[in-house]
Chains A and B, each alone.
Chain A
Amino acid sequence: TAGITQAPTSQILAAGRSMTLRCTQDMRHNAMYWYRQDLGLGLRLIHYSNTAGTTGKGEVPDGYSVSRANTDDFPLTLASAVPSQTSVYFCASSTDHPGEQYFGPGTRLTVT
């Protein structure tokens, strides 16, 4: 199985433009997550979803929005990108009970 896929792999985006990072999982996990990873700061949770139809805010939600229309997809949207959103973005999923998260390969985003 593919596990979690993310697209694009990398992107250079002009400040002020919008962009959607895609994330798809084929494991039928209920919970999904979006993180950003910056040097020295580790992984910081942006938004999460306990199950399809619900979303929640993480540590750093400002400037980002998510939706969870179905179990498999969890897109992350930047409505108007700013340079501080330059980062590596990881999507992850997990089963219902506390357990391991499966991570995608990441999207490297540069906002100029």
Chain B
Amino acid sequence: EDQVTQSPEALRLQEGESSSLNCSYTVSGLRGLFWYRQDPGKGPEFLFTLYSAGEEKEKERLKATLTKKESFLHITAPKPEDSATYLCAVQARTGGFKTIFGAGTRLFVKA
């Protein structure tokens, strides 16, 4: 069964304190792994798509990496505006566009 597990559930950082969020996945043939950001009361907003092990993507203070079993979202020198819930999701090669999301990591960045 396809599964996505994110850790930690919550993470509190001081402004400027770099850290990483983890996404472990089990899927029968990875089609794509996705990272989203969700602010309170809003729908998720797309950040990155990763397709194969070894791939990396960057956007401002965020960098996403992918291995065969997990993905990391690295946050470098975070700012308070980076506070949000970060969601990881996978699509398998079979099953059309069926998408499985993790429960998310709630990030709090204090000034």
Which residues of A pack against B, CB within 8 Å?
Answer: 4, 31, 33, 35, 40-45, 48, 50, 56, 58-59, 90, 92, 94, 98-106
Contact = CB atoms under 8 A, between A and B. Distances in A.
Contact of A100 (B34, B42, B102): B34
A33 B44 contact: no
Contact of A101 (B34, B42, B96, B102): B34
A48 B98 contact: yes
Given A42-B87, A101-B34, A106 B101 contact: no
Contact of B103 (A41, A90, A94, A105): A41
8 contacts: A42-B103, A43-B87, A45-B101, A48-B97, A59-B100, A92-B44, A99-B32, A100-B49
Contact of A102 (B46, B49, B87, B96): B46
A43 B34 CA distance: 13
Contact of B43 (A31, A50, A104): A104
Q: Shortest 5 CB-CB distances between A and B: which pairs?
A: A103-B43, A98-B32, A100-B46, A42-B103, A43-B101
Interface residues of B, number: 25
A90 to B, nearest CB: 5
Given A43-B87, A98-B91, A99-B32, A50 B46 contact: no
Interface of B: 31-32, 34, 36, 41-46, 49, 51, 87, 89, 91, 95-104
Contacts of B36: 101
A58 B98 contact: yes
Nearest to A54: B96
A82 B23 CA distance: 33
Nearest to B41: A106
A70 B80 CA distance: 42
Contacts of A94: 97
B61 to A, nearest CB: 19
Contact of B49 (A41, A43, A45, A99): A99
